[in-house]
C-alpha cells in the first residue's frame, strides 16, 4: 500500500500548504521506516502466506509494535509533537494524522495481522480486511489514490503560486513515484 500512502500525502499537502511535501511523504511511510530496523533485528517479521509466492500482499506481517493500533497512535503523536517546532500546531496535527493514516490504510489491505496493543499484549484479535488478497482491486485503488492525491496537489499549488513549471514537475514526480512503487509492489520487490 506504499503507493496509496504517497497519494494520501499529496492530498494532505493540498490542505496543509506550509508542511513540505517531502515531510508528508516521509510521514505517510514513517511506520514502515521504523519497522525496517525492527525487522532486521528480528523483533518484527513477515511470514509468507502458505501456498503463495510471498509477493504483493501475500505475507502475514507481524509488526506488533510499529503497526499496533496503540503503537501507531503513539508514534503519530510523538512525530506530530516533534514537527510542531517547524510547522506549528496545525502542521503538527497534519503530520501526526498523516502518520496515523498509514495504519488506517493498512487496516484495509492487510490480512488479519494488525494487533491492537504493542507486542499483541492480551492476545486480542488482530485486525485487517484483507484487500491485498485481490491484487488487481488493490492496485486499482492505490493508483486512484495517487492520481487523486496528485490532482488535489496540482490544483491547490496552481492556486497559490505562479511557478507552474515547478508545480507540473512535482505533480509528474508524484505520479511517477506512485507508478514506480506500484510496479515494484506488483512485482513482489
pLDDT of residue 168: 63
168-183: average pLDDT: 67
- What would the grid cell of residue 128 be? 485487517
> Which residue in the block uniquely carries the three cell numbers 510523538?
78
Q: How far apart are CA 189 and CA 56, in angstroms?
A: 8
Q: What is the pTM of this model?
A: 0.85
Say what the pLDDT of residue 189 is: 45
User: How many angstroms separate the CA atoms of 96 and 102, rounded?
Assistant: 10
| pLDDT confidence band for 181 (50 / 70 / 90) | low
State yes or no: pLDDT of 43 exceeds 60.
yes
DSSP the chain: -HHHHHHHHHHHHHH-TTS-HHHHHHHHTHHHHHHHHHHHTTSSEEEEPTTS-S-TT-EEEE-TTTTSHHHHHHHHHHHHHHHHHHHHHHHHHHHHHHHHHHHHHHHHHS-S-B-SSGGGGGGPPPB---GGGSHHHHHHHHHHHHHHHHHHHHHHHHHH-S-HHHHHHHHHHHHHHHHHHHHHHHHT-
Question: How does pLDDT run across 76-133, given as a tens digit for each residue?
Answer: 999 999 999 999 999 999 999 999 999 999 999 999 999 999 999 999 999 999 998 8
Judge residue 17's burial from the number of C-beta atoms within 10 Å of its C-beta, 0-12 exposed, 13-18 middle, 19 or more buried: middle
How many Cα atoms occupy the beta-carbon half-sphere of 29 within 13 Å? 16
Top pLDDT among 155 and 81 is at 81
CA 174 from centroid of its chain's CA atoms: 14
- pLDDT at residue 163, as a whole number: 59
Domains of the chain: which residue ranges?
2-187
- Of the pLDDT bands very low, low, confident and very high (cuts 50, 70, 90), residue 59 is confident
**pLDDT at residue 160 in the model:** 67
pLDDT in tens, 4-42: 888 888 889 888 888 988 899 999 999 999 999 999 999
Q: How many Å is the Cα radius of gyration of the chain?
A: 17
**Of residues 140 and 64, which shows the higher confidence score?**
64
> Cell for 14?
493540498
Amino acid at each position: 500500500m506504499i503507493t496509496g500512502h504517497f497519494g494520501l500525502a499529496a492530498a494532505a499537502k493540498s490542505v496543509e500548504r506550509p508542511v513540505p511535501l517531502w515531510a508528508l511523504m516521509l510521514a505517510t511511510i514513517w511506520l514502515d521506516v521504523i519497522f525496517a530496523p525492527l525487522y532486521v533485528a528480528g523483533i518484527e517479521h513477515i511470514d509468507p502466506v502458505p501456498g503463495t509466492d510471498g509477493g504483493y500482499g501475500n505475507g502475514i506481517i507481524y509488526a506488533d509494535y510499529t503497526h499496533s493500533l496503540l503503537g501507531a497512535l503513539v508514534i503519530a503523536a510523538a512525530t506530530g509533537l516533534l514537527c510542531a517546532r517547524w510547522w506549528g500546531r496545525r502542521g503538527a496535527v497534519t503530520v501526526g494524522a498523516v502518520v496515523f493514516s498509514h495504519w488506517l490504510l493498512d487496516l484495509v489491505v492487510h490480512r488479519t495481522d494488525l494487533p491492537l496493543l504493542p507486542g499483541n499484549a492480551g492476545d486480542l484479535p488482530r485486525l485487517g480486511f484483507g484487500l491485498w488478497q485481490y491484487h488487481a482491486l488493490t492496485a486499482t485503488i492505490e493508483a486512484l489514490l495517487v492520481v487523486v492525491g496528485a490532482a488535489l496537489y496540482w490544483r491547490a499549488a496552481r492556486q497559490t503560486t505562479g511557478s507552474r513549471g515547478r508545480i507540473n514537475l512535482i505533480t509528474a514526480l508524484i505520479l511517477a513515484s506512485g507508478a514506480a512503487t506500484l510496479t515494484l509492489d506488483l512485482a513482489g520487490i
